[in-house]
Structure 1
């Protein structure tokens, strides 16, 4: 068995262990899922507000977008935060000493973050199915589309989180990323149809995976009649797969390179310098 395969297997085992530890801790798990419980309440409050030009509520239209947003926050940003924290406390430095340790670490983080994100998605989807009777969850094709988009969305966005975590030098500086992420979510049709924005804003939103995640979720969960609120009046399945697929290829090609470079730059002295900041943040 090649060293890389051994590293991948070790990463899968590490990710499963991290996931079980997180799920077994109600305190840690609550910190991951409480924003989505609030989001479900907001969607329910908007159930009587209709999407312009349709008879469907904004609350119903927002369910798929919130699902897509949870992948960005819990998955992408959660991985970025975890990687930055591990670099500050020396975990990544220890991985550097293990043959192909960076690969195993990357795989492990991908697995654990994917599991936590899936738990968050269930917290959104289960009550939403009960609250919104018009969600299309009564067919195999809808579930197949939903599962496929979730899987492709995780593959497309988690490597981006790894790159962000590797590029930014501390947990504090990582907070700067939240501002553009929030702005991107705002123009990506999560809470309001993207067709309501100026055309140049629509083009910006379509460059990034957030919009396509929401569109893919809407195509799986909403009635076909609601496609009238989308660009071109269509769910654009092929475009969704294509854009998310491109982001996945770029992410998996670039993330390991960035992580290896970051690991090479790491040293015991650099970890020691970050300890006071880590301790202050924890306090």
Structure 2
């Protein structure tokens, strides 16, 4: 029998050195995550082909219908007349912005809350600010493409003259950006009102249609009853449409407005007031979960 060498006992206090912990990589910044989220939103939007067609085609179809039905009519003031397509182009731009920002976000966020998308996103490291930034960038991108397509059709198919001086395009820029931002935050705030994703369209769409009828989109605003003009003046769509009219109509047409001028200061004030109101209400009422989900 051969003897085996005894195995030396290990001292109980001696342990193997632990591997150094790897430092956790910091998360990307809010802005970068917002850009990434915007890319996700754009890809999701592009995959919904029916929504893409509706969003881009709706204002163009409205302009085509009005220009065809009322093609021989003109609107005028102080000896200046413009054809129907030119007069109602600003309203089509305004309603397109409202549909893309307010209506689309109010419905889509309610649906995302109902199907659990918001709850899952809330459980990730994605900051809420980045989520909303993605929505804002999606709205700006789609609104720009929608408006560019509408202007191209108006100019090429209906001979609507586009502004030739930088001042009018500067006015267009601030009215467009401010109107889109206002519609976006109001859409986020309004998204908490529908009780479910299924009821979102039924809650949001009538509001949008009513505002279109009283805000100078489907009818000349100066032809509406005075009390209806006063009601419409409370809401941003009327001012967004008026701001766009100041860009695409001759200056003499300003005499048809309620105040006898384009009222750029009032336009900016009302849009900013609704922007701030939408932010405050949205922060206080936004919900990541359904009402019955705790």
Aligned counterpart in structure 2 of residue 241 of structure 1, from 261, 268, 274:
268
Q: Kindly tell me: are residues 21 and 168 of structure 1, through their superposed partners in 2, closer, same or farther at Cα, counting changes over 3 Å? A: closer
Q: Distance in 2 between matches of 1:166 and 1:184?
A: 20
Higher Cα Rg: structure 1 or 2?
A: 2
Return the structure number with greater helix share. 1
- The answer to whether the Cα contact below 8 Å between 2:189 and 2:279 also exists between their aligned partners in 1 is no
Q: Does 1:255 align with 2:287?
A: no
Task: Tell whether 2:173 aligns with 1:147.
Answer: yes
The 3-state SS of whatever aligns with 2:198 is helix
**Distance (Å, rounded) in 1 between the aligned partners of 2:190 and 2:131:** 16
Deviations 1:115-147 (A, max 9, x none): 112221112111112245453421111111111
Q: CA deviation at 1:38?
A: 0.9
Match of residue 29 from structure 1: 52
| Aligned ranges 1:91-170 → 2 under 5 Å | 91-99=117-125, 101-133=127-159, 135-170=161-196
SS in 2 for 1:167: coil
Q: Is the 8 A contact 1:10 1:104 kept in 2?
A: yes
Specify which of 16, 27, 34 is matched with residue 11 of structure 1.
Answer: 34
TM normalised by structure 2 equals: 0.81
Q: Which residue number in structure 1 is paired with residue 74 of structure 2?
A: 50
RMSD of the alignment, in Å? 2.5
8 Å CA contact 2:215–2:232 kept in 1: the answer is yes
- Secondary structure of the corresponding residue to residue 44 of structure 1: helix
Residue matched to 2:21? none
State the aligned residue count.
Answer: 265
TM-score between the two structures when normalised by the length of structure 1:
0.84
Cα drift, residue 149 of structure 1: 0.8
Match of 2:208 in 1: 181
Gaps of 5+ in 1: 272-283
2:209 counterpart SS class = helix
- The structural deviation recorded for 1:52 is 5.6
Deviation string, structure 1 residues 206-244 (Cα, Å, up to 9, x no partner): 100000000010111111121122112211111111111
The answer to whether residue 252 in structure 2 is matched with residue 229 in structure 1 is: no
Alpha-carbon separation, structure 2, partners of 1:230 and 1:130: 28
* Aligned residues of 1:193 and 1:230 also touching (Cα < 8 A): no
Q: What per-residue deviation string (whole Å, max 9, x for no partner) do you get for residues 2-48 of structure 1?
A: x9993343123201332245347755522322212312312431332
Cα pair 2:63 2:88 within 8 Å, conserved: no
Give the gaps of 5 or more residues in structure 2.
1-25
